[in-house]
Structure 1
Amino acid sequence: MNPVSTASTAPASTTTSAGPRYPHLQAVIFDWAGTLVDHGSLAPTQIFVDAFATFGIALTLDEARGPMGLSKRDHIRTLLEDAGLQSQWQARFGRASTTGDIDAIYERFMPMQIAHVGRYSAPIPGAVEVLAALRGAGLRIGSCSGYPRQVMDVLLPQAMAAGIWADHVVAGDDLAAGGRPGPFMALGNVLALGLGDVRACVKVDDTTPGIEEGRRAGMWTVGLSLSGNETGLTLEQLQALPDAEVAAKRAAVTQRLMASGAHLVIDSVAQLPKALAEIDARMARGERP
């Protein structure tokens, strides 16, 4: 059986005769692209490539994925710090890039991202059912994204229409303190939702900065190996791969996410209930993140 078939993405049940329970947990805080929607996290990646192309700079999809998880302006800044891209920039413009150039690319990027994010708003298989199950278990649902607020304002209504919504959303430019890999957006959810213990929160993310964010906030962290940026494939592309290639990608991404601090790594959000049950059991034994 293909390990990434649609049939395998149904969420694991956490229901007992007394109902679904995670007695030691209070909330789950999700990323968006590559975690709840947009399998493969394609929307931001392609737009970075397109935005740089308008300046005559050739950026590959793999290069664009490198800093994913950061706020989009920080993402652009980090890309321009790459020696190869900086060399391209200097060859084209006769000088090193400046803060003003970062602003110019960001201003070019933003309308392109706003125009196209809706194309990639489809829920990742299992996400709708998992969110419903977690709410049924009494958990609060927080979320944060590297997307700016203007982009989230386009994405959120479309995601909600498809059954994806959170009790609170922090966008990448909402907080003066900054974004990932700092803990600020995750902690913004803690404050907004009135959560009493960061150790009873789980951060779920498909990027290494997102996992670092959760760890710095003092939370449990669950990484996603196949649905998001680190693998970077649509569900159809992933399902078309031989099982051995899927296994190799899973292993490589798992190693990267664990190195960034993930407590657990699963294929996609569809497997989250089982991961939460494991975390809850570890807390019952006295473990803390």
Structure 2
Amino acid sequence: MSDVVVPIKLACLDLAGTTIGDIATVERAFAEAIATQGIVPGTGAYARAMVHVHRSRGCPKIEVFRGIFPGNEAQAQAANLTFERAYEGALERAGLVPVPGVVEVLDKLRGSGIKLSVITGFSRATLSRVLSVLGWDEKIDLALCPEDAAGRGRPWPDMVLHSVLRLQIEDVRQVAVIGDAESDMLTGRRAGASIVAGVLTGAHSRERLLKGGATHLINSITEFPDLIMGEELGTHQIPATAR
């Protein structure tokens, strides 16, 4: 990979598994949702559905359910509605736990003049609830879900490109993307971001992140500011032969 020749002006950050540590909560909500449609734990259908859920991490939740219930839009929509209720119910009961150090990361990036856009596969209603629980309205510049991009969530590049347009970034090379899933990596590469950082704290393995096109791998989001502000660029860079 060639050296980055433009400064990073925009960071697009994933939520679950990257900035908030709620992977188990998400998976429980998926399990509850598919159970209402007759797919229950202990069956082969349940095992196959949860494998699909894991492989599809980061994608729009409705698209995940369409993959589980192909050709049955009503069933997919019903499961998606149950997922949203189950997840938001979990927020009410237990709240959310940000990844250690993430608030300091957000403050450091914004203090350096870098715009911050949160992108997610949650619906607009769920995203709004998550941000309300976190209290991050003053810490980020933008929060986008698939509904903001005509339904084209990850792995499409649209949410990153919408962020570029809405925050008036001059060049897609001034963008850094961070996420914990293969779909995050695909989104960043397809959008033309200079840095597509895979964080090893979430859903997918190093191998899956590399398969998606990660330019860098980091152990935690706390390493992200130094990476995108140039202090450690090269330290985490992945040689082209490894991709």
Separation in 1, partners of 2:68, 2:109 = 37
The Cα offsets for residues 223-281 of structure 1, whole Å up to 9 and x where unpaired, read as: 111x2122xxxxxxxxxxxxxxxxxxxxxx11210111000011121111232245885
The DSSP-based 3-state class of the residue aligned with 1:35 is coil
The Cα offsets for residues 80-109 of structure 1, whole Å up to 9 and x where unpaired, read as: 45xxxxxxxxxxxxxxx5222212222222
The DSSP-based 3-state class of the residue aligned with 1:128 is helix
CA contact (8 A) 1:42 1:120 kept: no
The DSSP-based 3-state class of the residue aligned with 1:174 is helix
Separation in 2, partners of 1:218, 1:141 = 17
Distance 1:79 1:265, change over 3 A: farther
CA contact (8 A) 2:32 2:82 kept: no
**Structure with the larger RCO, 1 or 2 (CA within 8 Å, 6+ apart):** 1
The DSSP-based 3-state class of the residue aligned with 1:265 is strand
Tell me by how many angstroms 1:170 deviates: 0.4
Letter paired with 1:188: H
The structure with the larger Rg is: 1
Question: Which of 10, 16, 19 pairs up with 1:27?
Answer: 10
Distance 1:214 1:279, change over 3 A: farther
> Is 1:106 matched up with 2:80?
yes
Separation in 2, partners of 1:53, 1:23 = 49
Letter paired with 2:227: A
> Is 1:122 matched up with 2:97?
yes
Separation in 2, partners of 1:269, 1:115 = 27
Question: Which of 56, 61, 81 pairs up with 1:67?
Answer: 56
Q: What's the counterpart of residue 226 of structure 2?
A: 274
Separation in 1, partners of 2:206, 2:130 = 28
> Is 1:48 matched up with 2:37?
no
Unaligned runs of 5+ in 1: 1-21, 82-96, 231-252, 283-289
Tell me by how many angstroms 1:164 deviates: 8.1
Question: Which of 118, 125, 143 pairs up with 1:169?
Answer: 143
> Is 1:78 matched up with 2:67?
yes
Q: What's the counterpart of residue 132 of structure 1?
A: 107
CA contact (8 A) 1:24 1:280 kept: no
Q: What's the counterpart of residue 149 of structure 1?
A: 124
Unaligned runs of 5+ in 2: 41-45, 235-243
Q: What's the counterpart of residue 257 of structure 1?
A: 209
Q: What's the counterpart of residue 241 of structure 2?
A: none
Identity, % of aligned positions: 27
The alignment of Structure 1 onto Structure 2 pairs a total of residues equal to 221
Distance 1:281 1:47, change over 3 A: closer
CA contact (8 A) 1:177 1:184 kept: no
Separation in 1, partners of 2:186, 2:230 = 20
Tell me by how many angstroms 1:54 deviates: 1.8
The Cα offsets for residues 2-28 of structure 1, whole Å up to 9 and x where unpaired, read as: xxxxxxxxxxxxxxxxxxxx9711111
Letter paired with 1:130: V
Separation in 1, partners of 2:142, 2:180 = 19
The DSSP-based 3-state class of the residue aligned with 1:173 is helix
> Is 1:207 matched up with 2:196?
no
After superposition, the CA RMSD in angstroms is 2.4
TM-score, normalisation: structure 1: 0.70
Question: Which of 129, 143, 157 pairs up with 1:183?
Answer: 157
The Cα offsets for residues 129-178 of structure 1, whole Å up to 9 and x where unpaired, read as: 111111121111111100001101111011126x9831100023222151
Q: What's the counterpart of residue 19 of structure 1?
A: none
CA contact (8 A) 1:38 1:120 kept: no
The Cα offsets for residues 175-206 of structure 1, whole Å up to 9 and x where unpaired, read as: 21511111111111111111111101101111
Letter paired with 1:24: P
Distance 1:218 1:280, change over 3 A: farther
Distance 1:214 1:75, change over 3 A: same
